Amino acid sequence: MTFKTIPMSDLYEMIDKISPTEVVLDVRTPQEYAEGHIKGSLNLPHDQIGGRLDQLKSYKLIYIHCRSGARATAAAQTLTNAGFNNIVCITGSGMADWIECGLPVERNT
């Protein structure tokens, strides 16, 4: 692995400081995303990352998360293999922990 890793609690502490040139990338399924996601996050399922590299190149920093860390790690590895060096991966935790802690989520209705 050649990307930075942080726990979900660190993402929460910095969420209000994320600039428009950065993105929180939620790599869960669209159904999981609709059931609850971080405000302003971009949903791109982990198995579709390879087809969206051009879109992701526009961000200076990409924070990647999923439900518990496995899909985020896979997506981060895909991006790293494609030459990205601006990845921060939330590992060992994810939206399951975010929701369990009662942190704010948006839902698609």
- The closest of 109, 88, 90 to 98, measured between CA atoms, is 90
Q: Which helix (H) or strand (E) holds 90?
A: strand 87-90
Would strands 87-90 and 61-65 be described as parallel, antiparallel, or unpaired?
parallel
Instruction: Check residue 35 and give left, alpha or beta (phi > 0: left; psi -120 to 50: alpha).
Output: alpha
Residue 10 neighbours by CB under 8 Å, 6+ apart: none
- Which residues are 108's β-sheet partners? none
> Is 89 tagged catalytic?
no
Task: Given the residues 23, 25, 64, 66, select the one marked as catalytic.
Answer: 66
**Which residues are annotated as catalytic?**
66
